[in-house]
Amino acid sequence: MNISLKGKKAFVGGSSDGIGKAIAKQLAASGASVTLVSRSEAKLKDIIAELPTTEGQTHQYLLVDYTNFEDYALQLEAYLKSNTIDILVNNTQGPSAGNTLEKNISDYQHAFDLLFKTTVFTTELALKNMIKNKWGRIINIASVSVKEPLSYLALSNTIRAAVVTWGKSLATDVGPYQITVNNILTGYFDTNRIAQLNATKAKQLGISETEVRNQMEDKVSLKRIGNPKEYGYLVTFLASANAAYITGTSIPIDGGLLKSL
C-alpha cells in the first residue's frame, strides 16, 4: 500500500522529540508539508533540516510553550491567518507524574489546560478550513492509561480520558464533513519521557532504572519497548485517504500491554 499525503498540510504538536518527532518525519516522508510545534527552537531547526522537500513540500515550525495557554492561543491565531491545517496531530508534553494523594486541585487545573484546553482550542480553529474543504484528519495522542490507569500518572489518566471522550463526540459531529477523528492510546515507547518516568519510579521504589525498564518490557506481550517510528506509521495511515472510513476510534499501540478488551 502506497500512502501519499502530497498537497496536505500537517500540524504536529510536541514534535521536537520522541513520538511527535517520529510522526512529523513520517508524515513528511509521505509527502505532507509539516509544521513542527514545540518550545525548543534548536531542536526544531535541526529537524526541519532533516525533512524532505520534494514535490513542492515546505516545512516550518511554530515556537510555543503549551504551559502558557494565553500566549499559545495568540501564536496559533496569528499562524492561522496565513496557514491552514489538513492533518492535525494533537500532542503535548505530559503533566508531572504522581498518584492521587500527591496531587492537588491546582495540579489538575494545570493538567487540564495543558492536555485538554490546548487540544480543543487548536482543533476548533483548525476545523474551520477542514469543514470548508470537507476533508480533514484529527488525531489525538492519548495513552493506554485511559483504559487501565497507571497509579503514578493520576493527572494523565484523568485528563487524557476527557480528551478521548471528547474526541469520540467530535467524530460524530464532524463526520458529515468527511473529517475523521481518532485517538491513539500510547503504550511504552523508547523516548526521553519514558526515561524520565522510569527515573522517577526507580527512585520511589529504590531500584535501578534498568530494573524498571526490564519490568516494563516484561509486561508487554512482545517483550520490548516500541520504536517511535512504528508510531509514525500508524499516524500516517490514519492521516491518509486509505483510512477515510475509520473515525471515532481509540486505537491502542502498545505491543499487547493492555490486557482488557
Catalytic residue from among 152, 177, 188, 233: 152
Cα–Cα dist 153/149, whole Å: 8
User: Cα 77 vs. chain centroid, distance in angstroms?
Assistant: 20
The length of the chain in residues reads: 261
Active-site residue, 108 included: no
Which cell numbers in the block locate residue 246? 475509520
SS3 track for the chain: CCCCCCCCEEEECCCCCHHHHHHHHHHHHCCCEEEEEECCHHHHHHHHHHCCCCCCCCCEEEECCCCCHHHHHHHHHHHCCCCCCCEEEECCCCCCCECHHHCCHHHHHHHHHHHHHHHHHHHHHHHHHHHHHCCEEEEEEEEHHHCCCCCCEHHHHHHHHHHHHHHHHHHHHHHHHCEEEEEEEECCECCHHHHHHHHHHHHHHCCCHHHHHHHHHHHCCCCCCECHHHHHHHHHHHHCHHHCCCCCCEEEECCCCCCCC
Which amino acid does the sequence have at 234?
L
* Residues designated catalytic: 152
